[in-house]
């Protein structure tokens, strides 16, 4: 299943386009099926209706657990690193994980959960979170994991949208020096959620919680009442595996639906290839399991390949900015997969936190979530990878289930800030506003995918029309990603930002990511966000919000320096018309910049900022609004 040279990649890619069904059937053969498919693929993008491996029967947990027991039962499946470095880490072998999953699956059954029921999981980053996810999959219940930082209102919306029957939570969570009272938030949320019959509560922080008779039960009590024998439910390939709500960067979150067979094949295939995972290596993805990255590359992808996966409860800057590197050293991490927002934040602490930390176990580095600017790319490459580890800049979405455009480690020559080339099976196209395909190289347009792949979403939960409208109606017969993209002279892809964020300056289309990339090259800039605003002469002007801690000395001069930098990197056309120095940027809880809020501020319209429930720190918005008025 692993590709080992660029020639092999090219050959495989060609086969995957010429004979997609044959190609994916070959990949699917590497997994464990109770019964093989009757038909590999049937599809249309007009309804849309997409089916992979129709007629096949399987259970994803047999692929993630049972099939590794005979040869690798004692191999570590999960290494858990707690928030507090003084506390012990925990290692779960495949055998133990299997046992815990089966046991907890029986707890779910005992509490009335049946195949097809929806279960909301709102937990800290502890091994039991993975156990809960897999236990749902074991019995065919549909999990909906909600990131353990969302408010009661956001959780209630998600529970009601999916009509969840059971909630799995914990008393509380540790995050850096903060404690989050998870159960209390759930209690508030459930006031408006009549569908929920049971709440299973794990003890973690030992904060006092209220336990409602008849509804709330303890995890620790329940697991004593059941045994560890739980046969895996036989699932159809197209049965629902999970619902996951998008981060909400662009609007109201959507309940993206993934199904068992295709998702499994895609998560496993991309994991094994992109990161070039080797047996006995330790894989560390720093995302939260509450995001798709955690679903595919902490849980399902790695476990389906029998890998060792790290679950880290804490944050990169606690107790100090060396923590993430300490975790790499402690667990001899070989593959580190993180996000540009984390890299930029750690960069701002300089090199001191890395000094004396042994990072020599690292072999591959990965980035996901946002375009990675060149400055951050080089810093990551030189200081963490010691110029010796390929960086895979992986472009994908909640909706795509797994990585789509990305280098394959040791196979694809990389280029800073480029996601490079599509993985086998992925057929990207760039289209203009009218939906005409833009051919050739050295072009840019809106990124679409013109052929199905196994990991793609099947619907948005409870609202198929919304799925059709959002992804399949903008352009006929194509999946529309919502992202703008450039294909350079080498045919390499670079994501330039959301299409909504592309700025049209005097008829030139300029991607927000490109301008931010240039601004961030200026020494002293920590991070920046760029949006368009109405401009009398140019149509749209460029407004830059810049974090520059030492700008106060001479703000005007600093502004001019930044303009110089942008001119040098991109050209005078991309020079911001306004630069506002700020101390923070509005971000989603997954760490992405919410440009739509900044766009409102730049337009001077702050009356209706839209849905801001997924915002990390609303106070930042007030500060920016105040500064922008001056
Ligand atoms: P919503 O859809 O609710 O607005 P979201 O798009 O932020 O939220 P995700 O599915 O988590 O939710 O994020 C996918 C998006 O993240 C992509 O469409 C793209 O804009 C951005 N992205 C992810 N990885 C990369 C990458 N490597 N390079 C550039 N952009 C990326
Ligand atoms: Mg999106």
Give residue-wise pLDDT tens across range 78-88.
999 999 999 99
C-alpha 499 to ligand 1 mean position (Å): 12
CA dihedral 593, 594, 598, 599 (to 10 degrees): 120
User: Which of 62-76, 99-113, 236-250, 315-329 bottoms out in mean pLDDT, i.e. has the lowest?
Assistant: 236-250
**pLDDT value, residue 575:** 95
**What average pLDDT does this structure show over 205-210?**
97
**pLDDT value, residue 552:** 67
614 vs 513 pLDDT, higher one? 513
Residue 188 token pair: 């508030």
380 vs 251 pLDDT, higher one? 380
Confidence of residue 508 (pLDDT cuts 50, 70, 90): confident
Q: Which ligand is in closest contact with the Cα of 590? A: 1
C-alpha 611 to ligand 2 mean position (Å): 15
Q: Which ligand is in closest contact with the Cα of 402? A: 1
C-alpha 10 to ligand 2 mean position (Å): 29
Q: Tell me the per-residue pLDDT of 561-607, one tens digit each, with 9 for 90 and over.
A: 999 999 988 888 899 999 999 999 999 888 889 999 999 999 998 88
Percentage of the chain surpassing pLDDT 70? 99
Q: Tell me the per-residue pLDDT of 442-451, one tens digit each, with 9 for 90 and over.
A: 999 999 999 9
**What average pLDDT does this structure show over 267-273?**
98
Percentage of the chain surpassing pLDDT 90? 87
Ligand 1 contacts CB of residue 247 (under 6 A): yes
> What is the overall mean pLDDT for the chain?
95
**What average pLDDT does this structure show over 42-57?**
98
C-alpha 67 to ligand 1 mean position (Å): 33
**pLDDT higher than 70, residue 359:** yes
Report the residue among 370, 372, 428 best suited for mutation to probe ligand 1: largest number of ligand atoms under 8 A from its CB: 370
**pLDDT value, residue 272:** 98
CA angle at 329 for the pair 326 and 335, rounded to the nearest 5°: 110
**pLDDT higher than 80, residue 611:** no
Ligand 1 contacts CB of residue 371 (under 6 A): yes
> How far is residue 244 from each of residues 51, 289, 339, 398, 457, measured CA to CA in Å?
19, 11, 19, 8, 10
> Please, is 473 exposed, middle or buried when counting C-beta atoms within 10 Å of its C-beta (0-12, 13-18, 19+)?
middle
46 three-class SS: coil
**pLDDT value, residue 165:** 98
Predicted structure pTM score: 0.94
User: Which of 42-46, 108-112, 299-303, 506-510 bottoms out in mean pLDDT, i.e. has the lowest?
Assistant: 506-510
Residue 553 token pair: 């000395």
C-alpha 210 to ligand 2 mean position (Å): 37
**pLDDT value, residue 477:** 96
**What average pLDDT does this structure show over 468-480?**
96
Q: Tell me the per-residue pLDDT of 139-156, one tens digit each, with 9 for 90 and over.
A: 999 999 999 888 898 899
Ligand 1 contacts CB of residue 419 (under 6 A): yes
Q: Which ligand is in closest contact with the Cα of 447? A: 1
**pLDDT value, residue 554:** 86
**pLDDT value, residue 590:** 83
**pLDDT value, residue 509:** 81
325 three-class SS: helix
**pLDDT value, residue 618:** 86
C-alpha 146 to ligand 1 mean position (Å): 17
Examine residue 286 and say whether the peptide bond preceding it is cis (omega within 30 degrees of 0): no
Ligand 1 contacts CB of residue 249 (under 6 A): yes
**pLDDT higher than 90, residue 612:** no
């Amino acid at each position: 299943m692993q590709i080992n040279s660029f020639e092999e990649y090219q050959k495989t890619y060609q086969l995957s386009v010429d004979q997609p069904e044959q190609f994916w059937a070959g990949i699917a053969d590497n997994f464990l099926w109770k019964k093989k498919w009757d038909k590999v693929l049937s599809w249309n993008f007009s309804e849309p209706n997409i089916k992979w491996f129709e007629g096949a029967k399987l259970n994803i947990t047999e692929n993630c657990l049972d099939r590794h027991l005979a040869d690798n039962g004692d191999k570590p499946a999960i290494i858990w690193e707690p928030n507090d470095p003084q506390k012990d880490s925990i290692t779960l072998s495949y055998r133990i994980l299997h046992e815990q999953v089966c046991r907890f699956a029986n707890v779910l059954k005992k509490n009335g959960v049946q195949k097809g029921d929806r279960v909301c999981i709102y937990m800290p980053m502890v091994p039991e979170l993975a156990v809960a996810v897999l236990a749902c999959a074991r019995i065919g219940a549909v999990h909906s994991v909600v990131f353990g930082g969302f408010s009661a209102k956001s959780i209630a919306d998600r529970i009601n949208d999916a009509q969840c029957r059971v909630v799995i939570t914990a008393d509380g969570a540790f995050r850096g020096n903060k404690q989050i009272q998870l159960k209390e938030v759930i209690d508030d949320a459930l006031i408006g959620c009549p569908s929920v019959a049971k709440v299973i509560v794990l003890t973690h922080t030992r904060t006092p919680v209220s336990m409602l008779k008849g509804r709330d039960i303890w995890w620790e009590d329940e697991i004593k009442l059941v045994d560890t024998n739980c046969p895996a439910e036989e699932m159809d390939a197209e049965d629902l595996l999970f619902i996951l709500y998008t981060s909400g960067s662009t609007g109201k979150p959507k309940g993206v639906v993934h199904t068992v067979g295709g998702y499994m094949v895609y998560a496993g295939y991309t994991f094994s290839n992109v990161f070039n995972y080797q047996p006995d290596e330790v894989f560390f993805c720093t995302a939260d399991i509450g995001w798709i990255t955690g679903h595919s590359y902490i849980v399902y992808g790695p476990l389906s390949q029998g890998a060792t996966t790290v679950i880290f409860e804490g944050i990169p800057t606690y107790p100090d900015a060396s923590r993430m590197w300490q975790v790499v050293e402690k667990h001899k991490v070989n593959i580190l997969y993180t996000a540009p927002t984390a890299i930029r934040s750690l960069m701002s602490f300089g090199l001191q936190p890395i000094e004396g930390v042994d990072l020599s176990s690292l072999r591959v580095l990965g980035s996901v979530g946002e375009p990675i600017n060149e400055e951050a790319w080089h810093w990551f490459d030189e200081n963490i990878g010691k110029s010796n580890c390929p960086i895979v800049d992986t472009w994908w979405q909640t909706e795509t289930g797994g990585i789509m455009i990305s280098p394959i480690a040791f196979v694809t020559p990389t280029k800073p800030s480029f996601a490079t080339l599509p993985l086998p099976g992925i057929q990207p196209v760039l289209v203009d506003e009218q939906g005409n395909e833009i051919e050739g190289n050295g072009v840019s347009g809106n990124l679409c995918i013109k052929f199905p792949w196994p990991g793609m979403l099947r619907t948005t939960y409870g609202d198929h029309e919304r799925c059709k409208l959002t992804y399949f109606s903008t352009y006929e017969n194509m999946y529309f990603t919502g992202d703008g993209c450039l294909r350079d002279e080498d045919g390499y892809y670079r994501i330039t930002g959301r299409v909504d964020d592309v700025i049209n300056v005097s008829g030139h289309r300029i991607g927000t990511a490109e301008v931010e990339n240039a601004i961030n090259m200026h020494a002293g800039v920590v991070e920046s966000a760029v949006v368009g605003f109405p401009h009398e002469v140019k149509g749209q002007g460029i407004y830059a919000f810049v974090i520059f801690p030492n700008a106060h000395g001479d703000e005007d001069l600093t502004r001019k320096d930044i303009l110089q930098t942008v001119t040098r990197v991109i050209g005078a056309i991309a020079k911001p018309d306004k630069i506002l120095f700020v101390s923070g940027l509005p971000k989603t809880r997954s760490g992405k910049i919410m440009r739509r809020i900044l766009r409102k501020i730049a337009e001077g319209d702050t009356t209706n900022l839209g849905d801001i429930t997924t915002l990390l720190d609303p106070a930042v918005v007030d500060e920016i609004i105040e500064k922008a008025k001056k």
